[in-house]
Amino acid sequence: MFKEYGQVIKEEAFFNYPVISTCSAQDIEKLIKFPSKFPLRPPNGIVSKYRQNTPGRYNDGGLTNEQGKAWHRLRESTTHDMVNTRVIQNLIADVNDMAIDYIAGINKLRDPDTGRVQDIIELNRKLGFESTCLLGLGCRVGFLEDELNPRVKRLSQATNCLFEALNEANYNLPLWRYFPNSTYKKLAKAEEDLYELACEYLEPALQRIEESYEPEAAQTVLIGILKRSDLDDKDKKSSIVDFVSSGMNTIGNTLSLLLYLIAKNPDAQTKLYEEINNLLEPDEPISAKYLNSARYLKACVQEYFRILPTAPQIARIVESEMVLSGYQVPEWSVVLCHTSAACKNENYFHQADKFIPERWIASEVEANPDLKVQYPFLVSPFGFQRRICPGKKFTEQMLHIFLATVSTFLVIIWPTLVNVLSNSGCSSIRSAVRERFGAGVQVPVGPGWPTHYRF
Ligand code: HEM
């Protein structure tokens, strides 16, 4: 699209407002640096409408959809703990645990005769669900178990239904604006189910708070929100629903795309494997200390976000008239910053189409100045300004732990995925898997067979 029409494009569509798209680094920088107290992002119309129609449960459109002071109030009071490094690090042990379950899950997917793993997308989705619940609800709920319990099944169905409805609302005529059509009804049912399920998970936490006190070490995002005196019951419940539904699909999709890129870059896999073995003592689990020092691991995730970000563009409503690539853009225009397209531009990144994690490591750039990143702000997979994704810290920590664990156990070769729980590798992780699942997880190293990644 940009190749054909240039770096700035204006699109007009029936039943919708005009949208301006830009992939210019200068324009994107201008928007990122705009000194906005309450940055404006277009709300999700169908969700806002549903919540307006359901005043018994919702005070407003929620953090994702609100604007101005209403948004700021929710942002300050509900995301306080989610952006707190210590609270997020409290979850490392649980995420380690989840990573071990995930490796065991991959092992169960292997064809016993061929060693082939047919499809890892579904497992990644379940992992996304489980990890988001860990963040939002403060506990493991059981998405990675063989048999999903009825509550988890309902949670999964409600989330799928919500995303189907959002897709339909985004890509079909917006008839829901005029009457409750089938898309609106689907969304209403999904939101209702999610709300009721979230309440079921919240009740025990509320009771714990009432009956006793939560020790400092057990501070979770959920407990942090439930304890806030500046939020009423409706705010608390709806923000948990928002957090759970925001992370559910994004994390699973991100992990699938990250593994795909790593699969296509075997040298990176070898380096990841070497780094984890160099940094971790045999009996040491993955910890905050390891994550702080794992430079190559973090560089791989950053480079992944440059090449295949889950959110390829960030939307803003501009608060004053501005000039983008020489064009006058009026106040209140909707502008899409296509960070993903900009990240593929050779003028902005040396060998832009290549996976080169080294460009994010200072000592490597010193040795090879061509790699110097001129426009680091273009890699903004979680957005920017005060509206940046509050799940960023948790998601990055999750991806780092998962990539480290996967690199210890698997050789992923595009288009194959081979489980290689060999005798080498980080022994603390290996012994944790064996302790839980016995020697049965050990499988031979072997050449791969086609894996049905569906991208
Ligand atoms: C790979 C995972 C994720 C990606 C790529 C992602 C990406 C994004 C992006 C691009 C935005 C828009 C930011 C902006 O407009 O500047 C956003 C907003 C948001 N995300 Fe995430 N997200 C992820 C995971 C999560 C998780 C786990 C949560 C759960 C807490 C979450 C909750 C939210 C919320 C509540 C907002 C709205 C924030 C606001 O408007 O103030 N996200 N996310």
**pLDDT given for residue 419 in this prediction:** 44
CB of 19 shorter than 6 A to ligand 1: no
Cα-to-centroid distance, 314 and ligand 1 (Å): 11
User: What residues does 314 pair with on adjacent strands?
Assistant: 337
Centroid of ligand 1 to alpha carbon of 389 (angstroms)? 3
Closest CA to 57 of 158, 227, 199: 199
Of 434, 426, 386, 387, give the one whose Cα is nearest residue 405.
Answer: 426
Distance between CA atoms of residues 314 and 378, nearest Å:
11
What is the CA(391)–ligand 1 centre distance, in A?
A: 6
95: Cβ below 6 Å to ligand 1?
A: no
pLDDT digits (tens, 9 = 90+) for 151-178: 999 998 998 899 999 999 988 888 999 9
Residues 6+ apart with CB under 8 A from 338: 2, 21, 22, 23, 312, 313
Q: How high is the pLDDT of residue 73? A: 95
The CATH T-level fold of domain 44-286+400-441 is Cytochrome p450 (1.10.630)
Q: Per mean pLDDT, which range of 66-75, 97-106, 321-330, 431-440 is the poorest?
A: 431-440
Percent of the chain with pLDDT over 90: 56
Q: What is the 3-state secondary structure (H, E, C) of 79-141?
A: CCCCCCHHHHHCCHHHHHHHHHHHHHHHHHHECCCCCCECCCHHHHHHHHHHHHHHHHHCCCC
pLDDT in tens, 2-21: 888 889 999 887 777 789 99
Per residue in 214-227, pLDDT (tens digit) is 555 456 788 888 88
In terms of Cα–Cα distance, which of 71, 13, 23, 17 is closest to 45?
Answer: 17
Is any ligand 1 atom within 6 A of the Cβ of residue 159? no
Name which residue leads in pLDDT, 207 or 308.
308
Percent of the chain at pLDDT exceeding 70: 86
Q: What is the mean pLDDT of residues 373-379?
A: 97
Report d(CA 163, CA 377) in Å as an integer.
Answer: 29
- The alpha carbon of 441 and the centre of ligand 1 are apart by a number of angstroms equal to 35
Instruction: For residue 310, give the ligand 1 atom closest to its CA.
Output: 5
Positions at the binding site: 389
Confirm if 25 and 371 have CB atoms less than 8 A apart. Answer: no
Tell me the C-alpha distance between 20 and 28, whole Å.
Answer: 12
The secondary structure of residue 284, as a DSSP letter, is P
Residues 112-128: tens digit of each pLDDT? 776 667 778 889 989 99
Q: Which of 67-76, 188-197, 263-272 has the lowest mean pLDDT?
A: 263-272
Phi, psi values for residue 206, rounded to 5°: -60, -40
Amino acid at 302: Q
Write down the pLDDT at residue 88.
Answer: 93
Q: Which ligand 1 atom is nearest residue 74's CA?
A: 41
Would you say the CB of residue 131 lies under 6 angstroms from ligand 1? Answer: no
**Is 64's C-beta closer than 6 angstroms to any atom of ligand 1?**
yes
Residues ≥6 apart with Cβ < 8 Å to 454: 119, 121
Window from 18-32, 171-185, 435-449 with minimum mean pLDDT:
435-449
For residue 343, give the amino acid letter: C
Statement: residue 204 has pLDDT above 90: no
Mutate-to-test residue for ligand 1 from 34, 389, 397, highest number of ligand atoms within 8 A of CB: 389
Domain boundaries, the chain: 44-286+400-441
Closest ligand 1 atom to Cα of 71: 41
Q: How far from each other are the two terminal CA atoms of the chain, in whole angstroms?
A: 21
- Mean residue pLDDT of the chain comes to 85
**Residue 372: band (very low, low, confident or very high) from pLDDT cuts 50, 70, 90:** very high
> Could you tell me which residues come within 8 angstroms of residue 207 by beta carbon, excluding any fewer than 6 positions away?
none
**Which tokens sit at 379?**
């890699």
